[in-house]
Amino acid sequence: MFRGFYTVASGMLSQQRRTEMLTNNMANANTPGFKADQSALRAFPEILLHRIDQEKVPTQNGLKLPFNQTVGPINTGVYVQEAIPNFTQGALQDTEQRTDLALIDQEMPVNPETGLRGSVFFTVQNQAGEMRYSRNGDFTLDGQGFLTTASGYFVLDTAGNPIQLSSDQFQVLENGVLQGANGETAQLGIGFAANPHGLIKEGDGLYSTENGNPLANAHNQEGVQFSLQQGFLERSNVDTSRTMTDMLTAYRAFEANQKVLQAYDKSMEKAANEVGRIG
């Protein structure tokens, strides 16, 4: 009976976490470059039950031999193992803003270990001076002419330096080369992740590497083809109708586990108040 309480509670907690993840996806449906999270539910390790018994041997002394009889496996619950971002390309949105840039995946190598395609990212620098990566090309120029993200992080070139321009009258070629109005030239730093699922998802649409090492320069990677589109933003890849359906499914599953928990509670109440009563 108590094992049932734990199993049902684990189901409720996993559906609650799944609902929170889907709610976050829905809240960022209009965030440029946002990659929707997908949950992976996994059962706790199964337990194989055995019944210890004895079997009589027809001998003069009545010999008994111990043996184990398999009862069968039992599962102890479920949990959300991890949230896996979906790195598929989002649709492009025309903004007609020169500072808006969109990364377009054209040809990406397939990771032999995961069977998934790699991905490319803008290289930015956070407030602590650490290198981070993003698909959000909603850029702007600060008061000193540095190209920054909407949160004020510096956009870096291929050498890892902030990009400074004299005005917003600049042009970005498909290969990432920036040409300023006064002759400034720089090439956007684009990182390539062969296994983007190995990146650590941070807030503000930023990603970091597990070991802190920078990603490979996508401009020099064989088999990697991408382009940049000025005046466009990559929309999030959140499927709002599918997300709403999944949220309703998670809610119904939570509600079903809740009813089972209430049934267990009534059974325990009856066992404590009626079965054990002495007339």
Q: Would the pLDDT of 52 be above 60? A: no
The larger pLDDT score, comparing residue 160 to residue 277, is at: 160
Number of domains in the chain: 2
Give the model confidence (pLDDT) of 129-183 as tens digits: 899 999 999 999 998 999 999 889 999 999 999 999 988 889 999 999 999 888 8
Question: Residue 141 domain-assigned?
Answer: yes
CATH number at residue 44: 1.10.287
Would you call 231 exposed, middle or buried from its count of C-beta atoms within 10 A (0-12, 13-18, 19+)?
Answer: middle
pLDDT for res 103 = 95
Report pTM. Answer: 0.78
CA distances from 81 to 40, 116, 198, 200, 275 (A): 6, 19, 15, 15, 40
Question: Residue 223 domain-assigned?
Answer: yes
pLDDT for res 278 = 55
Residue 106 and residue 218 in one domain: yes
Residue 93 and residue 228 in one domain: yes
pLDDT for res 113 = 77
Give me the mean pLDDT over the 265-278 stretch: 71
Distance CA(58)–CA(64), nearest Å, equals 9
Residue 39 and residue 161 in one domain: no
Residue 115 and residue 33 in one domain: no
Residue 226 and residue 244 in one domain: no
Domain residues for the domain of 39 are 2-48+76-83+239-275
Q: Would the pLDDT of 43 be above 70? A: no
The mean pLDDT of the chain is: 84
